[in-house]
Amino acid sequence: MNWSVASTGFEWTFLKIGYMYYGKDWHLLYSAFSYPFLYLVLLGNLKIVDVILQKSGCGRNQEPKEKQT
């Protein structure tokens, strides 16, 4: 939730200083509702990648497997 608020705040700031702009049909409120969903998708992706790496033996706390020659 904090990342969503921070992202929306950054987006609002960049809009106000003119660094970015929206097309004609987008509003800041749409972004505010989109960020929590997007962060959940990213978290799910991280979990999936972590499971795959654990199964392959290259997890976060494991040494990589030696290549067999």
Average pLDDT rounded to a whole number, residues 5-11: 91
How buried is 67 (Cβ within 10 angstroms: 0-12 exposed, 13-18 middle, 19+ buried)?
exposed
Residue 51 has pLDDT above 70, yes or no: yes
What pLDDT digit, counting tens, does each position of 18-45 carry? 888 888 888 888 999 999 999 999 999 9
Q: How far apart are CA 28 and CA 11, in angstroms?
A: 8
Contact 30, 38 (CB under 8 A): no
Residue 66 has pLDDT above 80, yes or no: no
Helices (H), 1-69: 2-16, 28-56
Average pLDDT rounded to a whole number, residues 5-23: 89
Residue 9 has pLDDT above 70, yes or no: yes
- The reported pLDDT for the residue numbered 60 is 67
Rounded mean pLDDT of the chain? 85
